[in-house]
């Protein structure tokens, strides 16, 4: 493949066929979902959800190529309702081919509700097959009406072997890399610099090889680190350090350090991170890391999310800062988080145990005759509003899943549960 100074290596090496496509075998393998859909001529509208640089755009193009359909691409960053309507109008003018066109929208999570609404009619009528790409959970970012008309396919992050395969393919297929006699002698720094992003991996490889004067161009850990230090901005943007920074942000809240939390918050804001993404992480942290130690934290996080939606940015940064500092300064407990994890593990282990007869619903006379709900003790009628009846299935009666933490608020909960249940649950 010829080298073009204006075309990045990642674009030059963009796969054109399934045979060249690396990874995502669960979707594009020989007998996988999307391959079968293509063979049957029934390609559905879909949302491709996965981290940056795992081939979402490439997959959309390959699907269009293999299906023989016209391909229209829009970016949610640069396009709006006007551009969507223009594409739909052009498809309608195509007559017989109207129902065959693919409309690919990159970063569809950045479309507003009204922009997503503008797609509904065309998708419902089958005028276009929509393929949306997103790095964010579609359950949060794609409106229900549109999501219900699309299949959601999850693309997996590249592992080390897949990343190495991308590099080997580039070295074997790119004329410029071959002229440089490029080869990788040490992999650790190159793979670490990629952050699992295939596009970034190839861009780093191109920078390193271009910066090596010698031929053959031998990629080593030292060569990669030198390039990264000389080009720091290229490796510290949302979509690249994205996952590392949000991880540091949440761990700073968990570690009760408001200074660190606000620093990483600023890193995300300055990097152009989606403010709603940050707000969602705050809601999760309020429940996962603080929980019962300070239940108001969840109220605060939800209020911050709602306030952000109302006022937007840049003022929304103040709301996010207030919430982040509050959460970081709160006492911490993961008791609820551990309880649901233990409960789910128990359900997977024991299966669908029979619900105790006393707890079953009895909406019909026959069910009442069969004993549904017969021995249920109505707690409000019991002394002190507590009956002490066993509420778990018989096979796991007495199992303890919730263990209060050591915070003052949870100590009160522990004392109350001990008063009610005595030694039954060991509280």
Q: How much is the pLDDT for 236?
A: 45
Q: How much is the pLDDT for 414?
A: 87
Q: How much is the pLDDT for 391?
A: 85
What order of strands is seen across the sheet that includes strand 129-134? 71-75, 102-106, 129-134, 46-49, 151-154
> What whole-number distance in Å separates Cα of residue 51 and Cα of residue 34?
19
Give 73-80's long-range contacts (Cβ < 8 A, gap of 24+).
73/104, 73/105, 73/106, 74/103, 74/104, 74/105, 74/106, 75/105, 75/106, 75/107, 76/105, 76/106, 76/107, 76/108, 76/109, 76/110, 76/111, 76/115, 77/106, 77/107, 77/110, 79/105, 80/115
Q: Is the pTM of this model over 0.85?
A: no
Residues 6+ apart with CB under 8 A from 214: none
Q: How much is the pLDDT for 184?
A: 93
Q: Along the chain (427 residues), what's the average pLDDT of each consecutive run of 10 residues?
A: 66 86 82 81 87 88 85 82 83 65 87 83 84 86 87 88 92 89 91 85 89 86 82 47 81 94 90 86 95 95 94 92 96 93 92 84 67 77 86 88 89 87 73
Q: How much is the pLDDT for 426?
A: 65
Q: Which tokens belong to 193? A: 């610099």
Q: How much is the pLDDT for 285?
A: 96
Using one digit for the tens of pLDDT, what is the confidence trace for 223-241?
888 887 766 544 444 444 5
Domains and CATH numbers, the chain: 23-154 (3.40.50.300), 160-235 (1.10.8.60), 242-329 (1.20.272.10), 355-421 (no CATH)
Q: How much is the pLDDT for 40?
A: 80
């Amino acid at each position: 493949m010829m080298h073009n100074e204006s075309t990045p290596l990642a674009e030059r090496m963009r796969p054109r066929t399934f045979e060249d496509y690396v990874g995502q075998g669960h979707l594009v393998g020989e007998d996988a979902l999307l391959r079968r859909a293509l063979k049957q001529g029934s390609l559905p509208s879909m949302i491709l959800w996965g981290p940056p640089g795992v081939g979402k755009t490439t997959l959309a193009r390959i699907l269009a190529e293999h299906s023989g359909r016209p391909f229209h691409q829009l970016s949610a960053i640069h396009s709006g309702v006007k551009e969507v309507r223009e594409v739909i109008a052009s498809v309608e003018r195509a007559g017989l081919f109207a129902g065959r066109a693919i409309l690919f929208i990159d970063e569809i999570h950045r479309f507003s509700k009204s922009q997503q609404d503008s797609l509904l009619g065309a998708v419902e009528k089958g005028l276009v097959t929509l393929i949306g790409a997103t790095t964010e959970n579609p359950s949060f970012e794609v409106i229900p009406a549109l999501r219900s008309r699309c299949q959601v396919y999850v693309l997996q992050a590249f592992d080390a072997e897949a990343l190495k395969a991308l590099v080997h393919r580039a070295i074997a297929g790119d004329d410029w890399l071959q002229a440089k006699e490029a080869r990788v002698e040490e992999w650790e720094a190159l793979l670490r610099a990629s952050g699992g992003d295939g596009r970034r991996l190839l861009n780093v490889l191109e920078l390193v090889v271009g910066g090596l004067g010698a031929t053959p161009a031998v990629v080593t850990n030292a060569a990669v680190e030198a390039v990264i230090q000389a080009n720091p901005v290229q490796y510290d943007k949302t979509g690249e350090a994205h996952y590392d920074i949000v991880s540091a942000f949440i761990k700073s809240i968990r570690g009760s350090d408001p200074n660190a939390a606000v620093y990483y918050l600023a890193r995300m804001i300055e990097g152009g991170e989606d403010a709603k993404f940050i707000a969602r992480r705050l809601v999760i942290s309020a429940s996962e890391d603080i929980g019962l130690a300070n239940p108001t934290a969840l109220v605060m996080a939800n209020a911050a999310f709602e306030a952000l939606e109302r006022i937007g940015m840049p003022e929304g940064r103040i709301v996010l800062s207030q919430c982040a500092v509050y959460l970081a300064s709160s006492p911490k407990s993961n008791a609820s988080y551990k309880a649901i994890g233990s409960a789910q593990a128990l359900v997977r282990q024991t299966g669908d145990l029979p619900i105790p007869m006393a707890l079953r619903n009895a909406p019909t006379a026959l069910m009442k005759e069969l004993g549904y709900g017969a021995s249920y003790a109505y707690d409000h009628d019991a002394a002190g509003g507590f009956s002490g009846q066993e509420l778990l299935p018989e096979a796991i009666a007495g199992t303890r899943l919730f263990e209060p933490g050591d915070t003052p608020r949870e100590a009160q909960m522990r004392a109350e549960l001990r008063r009610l249940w005595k030694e039954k649950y060991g509280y």
